[in-house]
C-alpha cells in the first residue's frame, strides 16, 4: 500500500463527525422545526471558543499555530524540507446567523482529519502542510465576506474594512483588535503574500451547497472554478408622513419606490436559461411603523454569473435601472463587493480527480455557484476545491446536512490530494 492509500485508510469517520458535532455545539440552537443550526459570528467570544477547541485538537498532533494581522489562524505540519512553500488547506469557522453545522467548518475539520491521518499512517510530507481557518468568510456580521482571504492574497489592503460596522455599530477594526488581544498568546505571522512567500497550492473541502451531486448520484465534486459576484446596497430616501392623512399623490414613500426599483431590477436580471443569480436578501425600513409612510428603505443586491461579460454589463446597469424606476424619492447605490469569475489551474483539480478515482468514488467536474475563500487564492497559487453532497442542496439554514460517510469520503480524497501535492 502506498503512502497516500495508507493516509486515506487512516481517516476516521467517527472522529471527524464527533469533532464537527462538538463545533456545532458552540453557537448551536434548535429552530422551531427541530433542526439544529449554528449562529457563530466572526470575531466574537463564540468564534474564539471554537478556535480554542481547534487548537486543543491540534496540539497533541504537534501542529504549530500562528495568527496573522487579519486573524487568519494557521496550523502547520512541518515537512522534511521546511524551506519549501507549504500546501494550504482549510476553510472558515464563522456561520450565517441562521446557519448550519457543516458550511465552512467541515473544510477546517477535514483538513485536521487529513493531516492527522497522514501522521497516523507514518507519512511525513516533503512540503509543509498548513491548515487555515480564514476570518469572516460569511460576511454575516461584517460585509463583505472573505475579508481574511482577500487580505492574505493582496486583493484588498489590510485596513480596507476598518470602518465597516455590524448591526450594533461595532467597527470591524475594533472587533479585530479585541480578537487579536485575546489571542496574544498565539505566535504572529506575516500577512499572506503581501508580507511573505506564496503557498505551493491551496485546496478547500466544502459541502456543495447545491443539489447536483446528490441528484445525479456523484460522491465528489471536482470544482473547476467559481462564478463571479457583485454585491450592492441601495438606500432609498423619501419622507415620512401620516398614513391616514397624507394624499398618495403627495407622498415620497420609500417603500413604494423600493418596490418599483426591485421590479425593474428583476426585469434587468431576467435569464431564460436560469444561469444568472439575483437576490434581494435584506430589507430595512424606517421608521418601520404600520401607520407611517416610510422615510427610508434599504435593500441589498447579490448578483452572480459565471460569464464575466454578463456580470459586468448587468452589474454596471444596476445604478441606472434603480434611478430610472424611482418616482418620488432619491436613491444611493453603493457597490460593496466585486469578484470576477475564476477558473482553477489544472494542478489541484487533477489531483482531486485522481484521488477520487483511487478511492473508487464517482466524481463530477463542476463549477461553484457559491463564492469561497478559494476564489481569492487563484492569483496566488494553484487552487482547487473538493465538494461533497449535502441533503437537498440546502445550506445557510439549520436543516443543512451531510452524511457522515460522505464527509469521510471527502476527507479521504483530501488526504490523498494533500499527500500528492505535498510530495510534488
Domain extents in the chain: 3-227+341-422, 231-339
pTM reported for the whole predicted model:
0.90
pLDDT score for 271: 97
Residues of the chain above pLDDT 70, percent: 100
The answer for residues whose C-beta is within 8 angstroms of residue 280's C-beta and 6 or more apart is 262, 265, 299, 300, 301, 302
Q: Quick one: average pLDDT of 144-171? A: 96
Q: How confident is the model at residue 125 (pLDDT cuts 50, 70, 90)?
A: very high
Q: What is the DSSP string of 14-66?
A: HHHHHHHHHHHTTTEEE-TTS-EEE---TTSHHHHHHHHHHHHHHGGGTPEEE
- Least Cα distance to 170 among 336, 43, 26, 297 occurs for 43
Residue 40 has pLDDT above 90, yes or no: yes
pLDDT value of residue 194: 81
Measured CA to CA, the distance from residue 16 to residue 408 in angstroms comes to 7
- Residue 371 has a pLDDT of 87
* pLDDT for the residue numbered 18: 98
Q: What is the mean pLDDT of residues 300-304?
A: 97
Quick one: DSSP state of residue 248?
Answer: G
- Residue 122: pLDDT band (50, 70, 90) is very high
Range 199-209 average pLDDT = 98
Cα distance between residue 318 and residue 232, in whole Å: 9
**pLDDT above 90: percentage of residues in the chain:** 97
Strands 228-237 and 296-305: antiparallel
Q: What is the pLDDT of residues 42-91, one digit of tens each?
A: 999 999 999 999 999 999 999 999 999 999 999 999 999 999 999 999 99
Q: Which CATH number fits domain 3-227+341-422: 3.30.420.40, 3.10.180.10, 3.50.50.60, 3.40.630.10?
A: 3.40.630.10
Name the CA dihedral angle for 410, 9, 419, 50, rounded to a multiple of 10 degrees: 50
Q: What is the pLDDT of residue 196?
A: 87
pLDDT tens, position by position, 1-24: 899 999 999 999 999 999 999 999
Dmax over CA atoms of the chain, in Å, equals 82
Rounded to 5 degrees, φ, ψ at 342 are -130, 150
Residue 293: band (very low, low, confident or very high) from pLDDT cuts 50, 70, 90:
very high
In this prediction, residues 261-284 reach a mean pLDDT of 97
Q: 2: which 3 cell numbers?
A: 502506498
Q: Tell me, what's the pLDDT at 1? A: 80
Please answer whether residues 158 and 149 qualify as being in contact, where contact means their C-beta atoms are separated by less than 8 angstroms: no
Average pLDDT over residues 173-200: 96
Residue length of the chain: 424
CB-CB contact of 381 with 200 (8 Å): yes
CATH of domain 231-339: 3.30.70.360
**Mapping DSSP to helix (H, G, I), strand (E, B) and coil, where does residue 225 land?**
strand
Amino acid at each position: 500500500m502506498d503512502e497516500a492509500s495508507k493516509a486515506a485508510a487512516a481517516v476516521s469517520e467517527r472522529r471527524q463527525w464527533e469533532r464537527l458535532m462538538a463545533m456545532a455545539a458552540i453557537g448551536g440552537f434548535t429552530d422551531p422545526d427541530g433542526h439544529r443550526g449554528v449562529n457563530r459570528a466572526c470575531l466574537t467570544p463564540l468564534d474564539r471558543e471554537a478556535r480554542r477547541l481547534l487548537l486543543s485538537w491540534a496540539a497533541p498532533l504537534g501542529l504549530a499555530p500562528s495568527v496573522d494581522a487579519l486573524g487568519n489562524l494557521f496550523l502547520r505540519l512541518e515537512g522534511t524540507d521546511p524551506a519549501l512553500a507549504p500546501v494550504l488547506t482549510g476553510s472558515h469557522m464563522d456561520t450565517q446567523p441562521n446557519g448550519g453545522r457543516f458550511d465552512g467548518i467541515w473544510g477546517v475539520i477535514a483538513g485536521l482529519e487529513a493531516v492527522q491521518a497522514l501522521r497516523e499512517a507514518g507519512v511525513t510530507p516533503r512540503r509543509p502542510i498548513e491548515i487555515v481557518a480564514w476570518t469572516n468568510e460569511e460576511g454575516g456580521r461584517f460585509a463583505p465576506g472573505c475579508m481574511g482571504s482577500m487580505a492574505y492574497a493582496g486583493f484588498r489592503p489590510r485596513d480596507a474594512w476598518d470602518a465597516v460596522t455590524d448591526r450594533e455599530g461595532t467597527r470591524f477594526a475594533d472587533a479585530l483588535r479585541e480578537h487579536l488581544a485575546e489571542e496574544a498568546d498565539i505566535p504572529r505571522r506575516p500577512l499572506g503574500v503581501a508580507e511573505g512567500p506564496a503557498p505551493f497550492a491551496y485546496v478547500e473541502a466544502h459541502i456543495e451547497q447545491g443539489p447536483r451531486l446528490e441528484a445525479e448520484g456523484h460522491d465528489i465534486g471536482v470544482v473547476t472554478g467559481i462564478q463571479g459576484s457583485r454585491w450592492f446596497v441601495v438606500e432609498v430616501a423619501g419622507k415620512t408622513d401620516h398614513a391616514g392623512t397624507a394624499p398618495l399623490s403627495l407622498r415620497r414613500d420609500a417603500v413604494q419606490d423600493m418596490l418599483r426599483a426591485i421590479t425593474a431590477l428583476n426585469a434587468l436580471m431576467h435569464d431564460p436559461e436560469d444561469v444568472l443569480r439575483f437576490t434581494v436578501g435584506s430589507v430595512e425600513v424606517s421608521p418601520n411603523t404600520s401607520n407611517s409612510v416610510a422615510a427610508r428603505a434599504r435593500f441589498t443586491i447579490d448578483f452572480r454569473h459565471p460569464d464575466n461579460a454578463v456580470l459586468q454589463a448587468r452589474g454596471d446597469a444596476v445604478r441606472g435601472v434603480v434611478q430610472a424606476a424611482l418616482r418620488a424619492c432619491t436613491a444611493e447605490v453603493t457597490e460593496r463587493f466585486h469578484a470576477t469569475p475564476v477558473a482553477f489551474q489544472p494542478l489541484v483539480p487533477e489531483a482531486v480527480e485522481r484521488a477520487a478515482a483511487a478511492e473508487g468514488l464517482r466524481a463530477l467536474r463542476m463549477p461553484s455557484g457559491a463564492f469561497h475563500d478559494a476564489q481569492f487564492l487563484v492569483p496566488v497559487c494553484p487552487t482547487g476545491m473538493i465538494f461533497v453532497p449535502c441533503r437537498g442542496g440546502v445550506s445557510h439554514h439549520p436543516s443543512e446536512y451531510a452524511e457522515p460517510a460522505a464527509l469521510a469520503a471527502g476527507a479521504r480524497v483530501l488526504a490523498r490530494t494533500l499527500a500528492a501535492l505535498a510530495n510534488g
